[in-house]
Amino acid sequence: MDLKEAIYSRRSVRKYNDKQISDEDLNEIIEAGLWAPSAVNLQPWYFVVCRSDEALKDLNEIMGGSIFGLTKVLNNRFKSNPEVIDETVNFVKSMGGAKTVILTFLQQEEYDEYTAAVESAAAAMQNIVLTAYSKGISSCWLTAPLHVEKELRERFAPGKGHLLAAITLGYSDLKPKAPRRKDGRFVIV
């Protein structure tokens, strides 16, 4: 699969089957994240890969607490589409049944160049979802965990920096359609 195909074809998937990702594929996916470009070579990311039954159970319990804040956001964004709200809330409560979830934290609490650290970690997450897709593994990059950042940091990354996002990974029979691209998102000068 070439890069353009991966970029244009990858979709966020919110429902997974029980098939586990192999250790080899998971290691390659994580390694791709570690090879992302980073500002002044900070390499500021810290990934916590939740795969064990205990870790996934704890994650799902904590994520259930994110629903209140998330529902407020969704109600504002999708007033006319209550089905989207219901689907998203159900996904977040169970992480879509994903057997692998990567939590992305910053390596440390503070950076002189905080925005650069966040951008660098985002580049690593993009590498992760594209590499997963190239292996036939579905993903969803989600920020809903930010509503329970404190709890997730305490459980999974004490002493590390801010939580930036989570990525669900797994196999799915779903093939979501591409959302419409919005106009007016660039200018060439």
pLDDT of residue 77: 83
Determine the angle formed by the axes of helices 82-94 and 53-64, rounding to 10 degrees: 140
C-beta separation of 155 from 62 below 8 A:
yes
Q: Which residues pair with 47 in a beta bridge?
A: 104
Domain extent listing, the chain: 3-170
pLDDT of residue 164: 98
Query: Digits of tens for pLDDT over the chain (189 positions)?
Result: 788 988 989 999 999 999 999 999 999 999 999 999 999 999 999 999 999 999 999 999 999 887 777 888 888 888 888 888 888 888 888 999 999 999 999 999 999 999 999 999 999 999 999 999 999 999 999 999 999 999 999 999 999 999 999 999 999 988 888 888 899 989 899
CA distance 17 to 156: 25
**What is the domain class of 3-170 according to CATH?**
alpha beta
- DSSP letter string, 90-114: HHHHHGGG-SEEEEEEESSS--TTH
Radius of gyration of the chain (CA): 17
Strand intervals (E) in the chain: 45-50, 100-106, 138-142, 163-170
